[in-house]
Structure formats: structure tokens, C-alpha cells
Amino acid sequence: MSIAKYIDHTILRADTRLETVKRYCKEAKEHRFASVCVNGVHVKTVVEELKGSDVLCCAVVGFPLGAMDAEVKAFEAKKAVEAGAAEIDMVMNIGKAKDGAWDFVEADIASVVTASRPARVKVIIETCLLNDEEKILACRAAERAGAAFVKTSTGFSTQGATLEDVSLMREAVGNRLGVKASGGIRDAAFAKALLEAGASRIGASNGIKLIET
């Protein structure tokens, strides 16, 4: 199985240099990855570097905690899309999810979905911080809010993607939404297992290693 087309080539470190962003774009074009995923400050560079290719620019929003005001998330998403981002990976409000405030969570996601149009939104639910019931409810809130994907992890919390979580999320959303696995995906065997478990996108900072092993 060739997994390159499923990979979001991701560079979100705080110390990311311009030369690194450009290298990721070059690699993504060469290997025909799905997207290059970056913080908002790099969106214009990525769009310019990817011009003429089928590789998308993906920007994170509310990253990595998801704990800011919904209007701030929506504004951040709007600016990223105006700069050329075709996909938005937003972090839901995890604390509100733990409180059971699902109307709030849904409205938070919906505000970003609306602000991001026509870009697609992936909702990071940070599975390592939720129990199984909360994971299912988070997926359902994301679907009701109009998201295109649900995503396991930021990669900045206590654990990344697991086969069990991907399978649970796929069961929750059926074929109606995509499922993105991210965080801790370090080899091709695990990436392929995640795809077989139901993932339709893989987020990884080591995309080159994943296709070479």
C-alpha cells in the first residue's frame, strides 16, 4: 500500500525555521503528500511554495490547547483561509467536553466551520484526555457542526493516535466524515495499521520516513 497520498506532512514546532517549511513543501510535492500542515504564520509561504501542485496547505487553529474564545478561533481560521489554507485543523474545547457542555463544544466547532468556508475543517478531539463515551460524543458534535474530519491528537499532549481510538472514531462517524490519525506515528507499519483501522489521513512530522520504511 502506498501511503503518501494520505499523509499531512506536518511541521508545528515552535522553533520552525523558514528553510524547514520550504523543505517540507519540496518533499510534499516530490512525494505527492496530501498536504503540508503548519502554524498560521507559515500559510502564505506554504501556499506560494506549493503553487502548481496538488498538495494542499493545512493550517492549525486554536493549537495546541483549544482553550481560547470561540470568536478568536474563528478569526484565526478566517485569516488562514484568506491566506490560502485549504484545510483547517482546529482543537476543540477539551475542558468544556470534560464538563459535558456539548452544546458549547458544538457551537465552538461550528464557528470555525463557518469562518473557514470553503476550506474543510478537521476537529482535533485529543483522545488521550477523553474516555470512550466522550470520544464518541466529540465525534458526533463535530459532525453536527459541519466538520469534514475528526482527528485524534495534537501530538503535544500525553499520547498520540492508537488503533483502538481510530476504530472507535470510524465507528462513530461511519463514512460520513474522514478520520485523521496523528501523534506518535513513527513507522510505515503503524501508519498502514491505522489506515486499516479506519483512518483516512495520517498526520506526521516524519512523512519521508513513513514512505521509506
Rounded mean pLDDT of 93-98?
98
pLDDT tens across 186-202, in order?
999 999 999 999 999 99
Among this protein's residues, is 89 annotated catalytic? yes
Choosing from 73, 78, 122, 151, which is the catalytic residue? 151
Among this protein's residues, is 69 annotated catalytic? no
Rounded mean pLDDT of 61-71?
97
pLDDT given for residue 212 in this prediction: 78
pLDDT given for residue 2 in this prediction: 83
Q: Which residue segments constitute the domains of the chain, with CATH numbers given?
A: 58-198+205-212 (3.20.20.70)
Among this protein's residues, is 180 annotated catalytic? yes
pTM of the predicted protein model: 0.97
Measured between alpha carbons, how far is residue 150 from residues 51, 52, 160 in Å? Answer: 27, 28, 14
Q: Which amino acid, residue 178? A: G
Rounded mean pLDDT of 42-71?
98
Residue 213 above 70 pLDDT?
no
